Structure 1
Amino acid sequence: MTTNIAVFDGHNDVLLRLYKSTSPDVVSDFLRGEDAGHIDLKKAQAGCFVGGLFAMYSPSPGNFAALSKQMTGGRYAVPLPDPLPMEDARRPVLGELAILMKVLRQSQGAVTLCRTAAEIDAAIGRASLAVVLHLEGCEAIDGDLHFLELLYAAGLRSLGPVWSRNNIFGHGVPFQFPAGPDLGDGLTPVGEKLVRACNEMKILIDLSHITEKGFWDVARLSNAPLVATHSNAHALCSSPRNLTDRQLAAIRDSGGMVGLNFATCFLRPDGNMTADTEVDLMVRQLDYLIEKLGEDHVGFGSDFDGATVPAKIGSAAGLPVLTETLRQSGYSEALLAKLGSANWLNVLARTIG
């Protein structure tokens, strides 16, 4: 009988889901388990989901989920949302951070906020869900980076300068298909300042939503491993959110990391967002990423609670479906352990300390 592989995941949006929930007690929902969503404590335990990068994110006005329904038919162009004013961006970030702090306080040690790789190891060792705090898109941060200091003090150890929306730090790639990632300008001068600050503070810089020009700007400026927490290979799915072979080579050469995005629109050759997607496409992406990056530089970046994932996976509880499919495809236990958590823990040790 095979055992489940421990999974430390590169990206999820459960804090946003809880923030947007109309439930009167979202903290209890998370800790006790609920029908909704991809991640709660019970689903995590069922799927051997031991931790990950938990994103704080500021949604644009309106219902972007409705816009995402346009991502079908093999060809689409969803417009970039308008830039988000700083005060509008801070409100949900503070709300999501407050939810996390309540979860930590009420979990009685079952959930741990981790600031270093050693703290991640220790949390996993005592079967506590290891949370590394991430900011997806930096609209809440001012140009002087004062708010960055506050978030760092609260535990932030990872950020993406942009989501798929332009801000004062740089430019994001739109949801188009098919398209390459060279769809806008790169970092602004204050974005370059942010990269240097992240290097100094040992904050991981996520390249998953940035334009190709922005990617190369970060590669030029940063002294840390290049990391795309939830992206796939453009050669297999021509979404601008996916990475070209040249980008993959730069990540490999920096000692960096790519987390396989489970979102079906970044897996499927037709770019469609539909749960009716075979797990074999995830294996195909992993095969390719390992070929280009090597087996020490690939992991999982599910995008749970932020995207449509293959129905056979369904939620964090379904992670053993993926690992068993990989076993059946010839992946060794040693390689599965690397993909599941070891590679993430290694790159985090070399990035956040």
Structure 2
Amino acid sequence: MTESSIIPVFDGHNDVLLRLRRDGLNSVNAFLNGEAAGHIDLPRARRGGLAGGLCAVFIPSPDQPRDGNGDFPAPSQPQALNETLAMFRLLLAIEAQSDGAVKVCRSANDIRSSIADGRFAAVFHIEGAEAIAADLDALHVLHQAGLRTLGPVWSRPNVFAYGVPFRFPSTPDIGPGLTDAGKDLIRACNELRIMIDLSHMNEQGFWDIAKLSKAPLVASHSNAHAISPHSRNLTDKQLDAIRDTGGLVGINFGVLFLRDDGVRNADTPIELLVRHIAYIAERIGIEHVALGSDFDGTTIPQSLGDASGLPKLIDALRAHGFDDQALGMIAHENWIRVLERTWGA
């Protein structure tokens, strides 16, 4: 075991539930016992020091043509709700069959104790709120079931807002901001103390939320637009706003959001990932940067590979000059601090 492997990582975004949902009936056993597919299972998480993270429920767009603006279509609300419940049930089944190795966490203390006890700390997260209608009834029920973080949009329009499309090179200033229903959603999330994820918001929606929300601003899996001019990345002004609210940015491992040429090339050095971390840490402070891998949701550097490769990133950060205190903050402490501020005790 290397020195770096003992630093636990709490990660801001993964799509393992969608991958397992597609895999079918044996997916719970595959996650718990290990498999060749994807980026995350429990054995690889243990080897890499991945102690947990936000497990996203994402509903893919239906197999329909894009609209006149080139936007992906959104699933219907009943379809999205059914799929959301199915994926959350899958997470609960993983917990139930794990013999205590996986814990669905509903508080910051749950995360802390799970990491201390060597359990995988999973948080129920929704990426794109299509499962929730404008009446917000489903939001309240899902919160009672364990929903603790939510991104109002994926990169497509819905009833709440206009998600930023995938464009390169481009600023995130594409399309309108929150709808009236979106403003109601933000207020309700504040009241319920659900974390609001800004990673797929366009710029107008970002600023609408910044004006309305009383919680720290958080982008769970986004990078620095100054380095990679992708529409999904954050401008310096947005980074400054996140700092000013005590929020954070979880750095996305996806090569599309790391590179300055917009090419989906897995032969991308880990050092470019380190560059985004270092840039944001220098710009807004080490306490505002964390990890948001997007494991199982995007193409990551081949040299990192999967969750078992996380010690390589820790080693690269140490080689860049980050000491153990800074590494602990980036790896898990910053996430726990911001979630505790948002959720309460």
Relative to structure 1, the CA distance from residue 255 to residue 21 in structure 2 (aligned partners, 3 Å threshold; closer, same or farther) is: same
Is 2:220 the counterpart of 1:219? Answer: no
2:15 alignment counterpart: 13
1:94 alignment counterpart: 85
Distance (Å, rounded) in 2 between the aligned partners of 1:204 and 1:179: 27
Which amino acid in structure 1 is aligned with residue 236 of structure 2?
D
1:175 alignment counterpart: 166
Distance (Å, rounded) in 2 between the aligned partners of 1:321 and 1:294: 23
Is 2:114 the counterpart of 1:112? Answer: no
Alignment of 1:146-157 (within 5 A): 146-157=137-148
Is 2:159 the counterpart of 1:158? Answer: no
Which amino acid in structure 1 is aligned with residue 58 of structure 2?
Y
Distance (Å, rounded) in 2 between the aligned partners of 1:109 and 1:148: 28
Is 2:64–2:73's contact at 8 Å kept on the other side of the alignment?
no
Q: Secondary structure at the match of 2:123?
A: strand
Distance (Å, rounded) in 2 between the aligned partners of 1:299 and 1:101: 26
Which amino acid in structure 2 is aligned with residue 136 of structure 1?
E
How far 1:124 moved relative to its partner?
A: 1.0
Which amino acid in structure 2 is aligned with residue 172 of structure 1?
G
Distance (Å, rounded) in 2 between the aligned partners of 1:44 and 1:62: 33
Is 1:19–1:92's contact at 8 Å kept on the other side of the alignment?
no
Which amino acid in structure 1 is aligned with residue 14 of structure 2?
N
2:307 alignment counterpart: 316
2:324 alignment counterpart: 333
| Matched pairs, number | 340
1:71 alignment counterpart: none
Is 2:4–2:315's contact at 8 Å kept on the other side of the alignment?
no
1:130 alignment counterpart: 121
1:75 alignment counterpart: none
Alignment of 1:230-309 (within 5 A): 230-309=221-300
Is 1:171–1:214's contact at 8 Å kept on the other side of the alignment?
yes
Distance (Å, rounded) in 2 between the aligned partners of 1:35 and 1:287: 32
Q: What does the per-residue CA deviation read over 1:168-195, in whole Å, with 9 as the maximum and x for residues that have no partner? A: 0001011110000000101000100000
Is 1:79–1:175's contact at 8 Å kept on the other side of the alignment?
no
The TM-score normalised by the length of structure 2 is: 0.96
2:75 alignment counterpart: 84
Distance (Å, rounded) in 2 between the aligned partners of 1:314 and 1:163: 25
2:334 alignment counterpart: 343
How far 1:63 moved relative to its partner?
A: 9.8
Q: Secondary structure at the match of 1:350?
A: helix
Distance (Å, rounded) in 1 between the aligned partners of 2:8 and 2:75: 37
Distance (Å, rounded) in 2 between the aligned partners of 1:50 and 1:106: 18
How far 1:12 moved relative to its partner?
A: 0.4
Q: What does the per-residue CA deviation read over 1:267-310, in whole Å, with 9 as the maximum and x for residues that have no partner? A: 00011122111111011111111011100010000000000000
User: What's the C-alpha RMSD, in Å, of the aligned pairs?
Assistant: 1.5
Q: What does the per-residue CA deviation read over 1:79-124, in whole Å, with 9 as the maximum and x for residues that have no partner? A: 3211321112122212111111111110111000111101111111
Distance (Å, rounded) in 2 between the aligned partners of 1:58 and 1:146: 19
Structure 2 regions of 5+ residues with no counterpart?
Answer: none
Is 1:58–1:90's contact at 8 Å kept on the other side of the alignment?
no
Q: Secondary structure at the match of 1:169?
A: coil
Distance (Å, rounded) in 1 between the aligned partners of 2:103 and 2:159: 32
How far 1:3 moved relative to its partner?
A: 3.6
